Structure 1
Amino acid sequence: MSPQNDSGGRAADTATWGFFIWGLTCIQVLEGLEAVRRRPGMYIGSIGERGLHQMVFQVVSYAVDEHLAGDADAIDVTITADGGIRVADDGRGLPVEVQEGTGRPAVELALTELSFGPKSHTGYWVSGGINGLGLCVVNALSSHLTVEVHRDGHRWTQEYKKGIPITALTRHEESSGHGTAIAFLPDADIFETTRYSFATLSERLQELAFLNGGLAISLNDERPERPVHHHHADGLRAYVAHLNPYPTSLVHSPAIGFESENEDGTIFVQVAIQWSTWSSAGGFHSFANSTRTHEGGAHEQGFRTALTDVVNDYARRNGQLPSDDEDITAAAVHEGLTAVISIKLTHPVFEGATRTRLANPEADAYVHMVVRRHLTAWLDHNPDEASAIIRHVLNASTDADVVMKEL
């Protein structure tokens, strides 16, 4: 190789390395709340109305977890006069003690550190929501946030601006109460709109009250609109009754409801179902850890398979379906059906485009077993209602056959 060519090669190598080093200086490593503010859609789905309301549901999810842990009975949500949100619960209150190795109180870490969600230290066996980072994310995306805690015999407060503490955690007067109140104002520099819909919030809060029987949830609007109070001791059966507004069309009443928890306490299943002659009945609604699983998943699969199997087994055992006839189809079984299934798991695995499909295989097997056992027992103990259900699905099956022949 000639000296001239060798020199040209070294020049090219130097240029390449120079470009590489320049590129490294242009790469920004986003850490902590800066990452949330730069890419909010990754954490709350969007910066439109959906993401705006998700901010509320993230905070409410923490309060629901307090209820699931047996430490809260009520949640009060208020749309404040300035357009912000205040969520208060009567749970244990976020921990205020200083965490070893950080010199910072636990409540501050929960509100500022992505790796320190409230679920990491409060002992929940299950948590609502999908990412477990709710409080931290809400703080990052708020222009202003105040947390008030009643715990350890005192009232404590701290204020934040765009996720950054602007006051230290301050201890105030003595208090015999317990619970957490978080008030926040969504950052208008991030969201496309900062106006909350009373109807949207009310619908989701009512849904949470149905899914968590015994939990009282109130929604108030200081702008103002009329307050609402959701409290459904009958849980999912009350939810089904709400979804079936025409009593005269019901095949049986009340709704069938049952629940079950596995031996090691890692899965808890609740089911409520009711058939109606109204073809556009309430439909199918499934949830995992109080999150609506719009894309279904393992728990839905277990339910649907078991439901069809049980109906066919009962119909044959009781002579309503001859042994030489084909099985009743799943479509006929689901005709006029309103069903709500809620599953709570210690370690849910979500997937799908919007992370609303449950992937846990153990959910399929356990839900299938629970539905087979409890629905079979209910049908056996309620023969009149059971016969009416079988007649209904057989009629649906016959109607479907007629339609197919006409086609």
Structure 2
Amino acid sequence: MRRDGARWTLEYERGVRAGVPARTGPADDTGTVITFWPDAEIFETLTVSFDTLADHLRELAFLNRDLDITLTDDRDPGTARAVRFRFPGGARDWIAQQSAAPHSDVLGFEREYSGMEGTVEVALCWGDSGDEQVTSYANSWPTISGGTHELGFRDGLAAALTAFAREEQILTPSDPDLTPTRLGAGLMAVVSVKLDRPEFEGATRDQLGNGPVRACVAEAVREHLTAWLRSDSERARAVLARIPATTRD
């Protein structure tokens, strides 16, 4: 690790610190270098996959817009390669790349809430795909089973779309509100929260349980999506046209 004009080294063995931080020389920049040697008694294979690491680091760079990550493979000098990941647009860049949609068609925002002791970042768009793809993360950890942040996202989505549909008289006063379970074919979204004290549920810790997160995320999504819909009524009507009639029952 390089900081405060010095280079520091710290070693671990099987997760246990093997000493104290040692100052090993001067440094004129900042940063951290992690050197990892797989243990044959723990791992089934000692061969590291460049592509697997690249996919994971690309994901981290999208979720942390301030990160600048370089992955270099020099195991074979004849086929050495390196890739760099940096996405100043964060999750919005991710959705734009995955959907091949112009940035103007992607809603993206980040907001801090003291009530949930953290921040929420959301990016979404509707495309031509018939599938709905919502991916969620807590502190950059994939929450495959969802949780309160994903529930809040769907609550906010349903509230904003319902309100706009009533404003445009697509829904009549007697029509029920739109339900948050499925809100249109082609929806692609990333919901990422960063919390001071995340609470994970399940044996694999893949579901977020922090109660206050749901209301905070719902409020943020409702407010930002409402403004986005009102900014382009033609686009908004196209989004509402994708919502199956079953979600209005």
Q: Normalising by structure 2, report the TM-score.
A: 0.86
Alignment of 1:4-403 (within 5 A): 149-157=1-9, 163=16, 165=18, 170-224=22-76, 225-245=80-100, 247=101, 253-263=104-114, 266-280=117-131, 283-393=133-243, 396-397=244-245
Tell me, yes or no, if the aligned pair for 2:143 and 2:208 is still in contact at 8 Å.
Answer: yes
The letter for the 1-side match of 2:214 is D
Per-residue CA distance 1:349-370 (angstroms, 9 max, x = gap): 0011211100000001111111
- How far residue 209 of structure 1 moved from its aligned partner, in angstroms, is 0.9
The letter for the 1-side match of 2:136 is S
- How far residue 333 of structure 1 moved from its aligned partner, in angstroms, is 1.2
Residues 331-340 or 362-371, more deviating: 331-340
Q: Normalising by structure 1, report the TM-score.
A: 0.55
User: How far apart, CA to CA, are the structure 1 residues paired with 2:118 and 2:90?
Assistant: 18
Tell me, yes or no, if the aligned pair for 2:199 and 2:209 is still in contact at 8 Å.
Answer: yes
The letter for the 1-side match of 2:44 is E
Tell me, yes or no, if the aligned pair for 1:329 and 1:397 is still in contact at 8 Å.
Answer: no
Per-residue CA distance 1:232-277 (angstroms, 9 max, x = gap): 11111111112214x5xx9x94201122112478221111110113
Per-residue CA distance 1:188-242 (angstroms, 9 max, x = gap): 1221112112121111111111111132111111124532111111111111112
Q: Which has the higher contact order (CA 8 A, sep 6+)?
A: 2
- How far residue 329 of structure 1 moved from its aligned partner, in angstroms, is 4.2
Percent sequence identity is 41
Per-residue CA distance 1:364-383 (angstroms, 9 max, x = gap): 11111111122112212222
- How far residue 308 of structure 1 moved from its aligned partner, in angstroms, is 1.5
Tell me, yes or no, if the aligned pair for 2:111 and 2:120 is still in contact at 8 Å.
Answer: yes
Per-residue CA distance 1:78-128 (angstroms, 9 max, x = gap): xxxxxxxxxxxxxxxxxxxxxxxxxxxxxxxxxxxxxxxxxxxxxxxxxxx
State the Cα RMSD in Å. 2.7
SS in 2 for 1:368: helix
User: How far apart, CA to CA, are the structure 2 residues paired with 1:302 and 1:320?
Assistant: 24
- How far residue 339 of structure 1 moved from its aligned partner, in angstroms, is 0.7
What is the match of residue 14 of structure 1? none
User: How far apart, CA to CA, are the structure 1 residues paired with 2:185 and 2:161?
Assistant: 13
- How far residue 155 of structure 1 moved from its aligned partner, in angstroms, is 2.9
The letter for the 2-side match of 1:262 is Y
Structure 1 unaligned residues grouped into runs of 5+: 1-148, 402-407
Pair member with larger Rg: 1
User: How far apart, CA to CA, are the structure 2 residues paired with 1:331 and 1:160?
Assistant: 46
The letter for the 2-side match of 1:186 is P
Query: If each structure's helix is expressed as a fraction of its own residues, which one has the higher value?
Result: 1
Query: Structure 1 runs of 4+ off > 4 angstroms?
Result: 158-164, 167-170
C-alpha change, 1:189 and 1:316, in structure 2 (3 Å) is same
User: How far apart, CA to CA, are the structure 2 residues paired with 1:323 and 1:269?
Assistant: 33
